[in-house]
Amino acid sequence: MGGSNPARSMNVAFYGGSFDPPHVAHLLSAAYALSTGGFDQVLVVPVFEHAFGKVLAPFEERVELCRACFDGLPRVNVSPIEAELERPSYTERTLARLVADHPDWRLRILVGSDVLADTGAWHDFPAVERLAPPFVLTRRGFEKWGSGPALLPEVSSTHVRELLRRRHEPAAAEELRFLVPARVLERVTARGLYLS
């Protein structure tokens, strides 16, 4: 895409995260951004090595789970680009690489309103803002004037992982049906992920 016509810039939403595992709120966030943000594409970028040292499921598995999660949602692409970059993974570094590779892209970063208070701990967040001004997804309890209502469901990967460890229990299995796309659950089960 780097060689595409520079006369037509593309509005691209950068959606980074652990996606450990991806769930319905991730899927709905991408759909919401596409429908309200004027984006041509949402680029889902699973983190390779978390900057805060979080232990994550294998990168390749999370990439494939993201592909399963967003499959069927037009204009959403999953990128394994962070596997090619220096570690740990810094959003600023990834964005700089994307800007270099795709000069015709106009990037914005999808970020939850709850995360805005933590950006002081990010590596060079002012550079992140310059490279990709935030497109804020309002989270319940973190509403601000002008940010819009909190429309997305409150789902956390931490809670999903806990349910997956108990997926043999009928109540946990039933809740998972509502929180995790069926294709993601199928792959998680087939690969024996999140059992411990």
Ranges of each domain in the chain = 10-152
CB proximity list for 79: less than 8 A, separation 6 or greater:
43, 44, 45
- The arrangement of secondary structure in 10-152, i.e. its CATH architecture, is 3-Layer(aba) Sandwich (3.40)
- The per-residue pLDDT for 147 is 67
- The per-residue pLDDT for 146 is 61
Query: pLDDT for 78-87, tens place per residue?
Result: 999 999 988 8
Q: How much is the pTM?
A: 0.89
Identify the bridge partners of residue 109 per DSSP, sorted by sequence position: 14, 134
Query: pLDDT for 96-152, tens place per residue?
Result: 999 999 999 999 999 888 777 777 777 788 888 999 999 988 877 666 756 677 788
Is residue 38 within 8 Å of 32, Cβ to Cβ? no
Identify the bridge partners of residue 106 per DSSP, sorted by sequence position: 11
Indicate whether 4 pLDDT > 70: no
Q: What is the mean pLDDT of the chain?
A: 89
83: closest CA among 64, 68, 70?
64
**For the residues 40-63, what does the mean pLDDT come to?**
92
The burial of 42, by beta-carbon neighbours within 10 Å (0-12 exposed, 13-18 middle, 19 or more buried), is given as buried
Indicate whether 5 pLDDT > 70: no
Apex CA 70: angle with CA 179 and CA 173, to 5°?
25
Identify the bridge partners of residue 15 per DSSP, sorted by sequence position: 44
Question: With the C-alpha atoms ordered 62, 66, 69, 72, is the resulting torsion angle positive or negative?
Answer: negative
10-17 vs 134-137, strand pairing mode: unpaired
**For the residues 164-187, what does the mean pLDDT come to?**
95
Scan for tokens 């469901």, then name that residue. Answer: 153
Local confidence band at 1 (pLDDT 50, 70, 90 cut-offs): very low
Supply φ then ψ for residue 105, to 5 degrees.
Answer: -90, 140
Is the bond leading into 88 cis (omega within 30 degrees of zero)? yes
- The per-residue pLDDT for 162 is 96
- The per-residue pLDDT for 71 is 94
Identify the bridge partners of residue 124 per DSSP, sorted by sequence position: none
- The per-residue pLDDT for 43 is 98
Question: With the C-alpha atoms ordered 176, 180, 186, 190, is the resulting torsion angle positive or negative?
Answer: negative
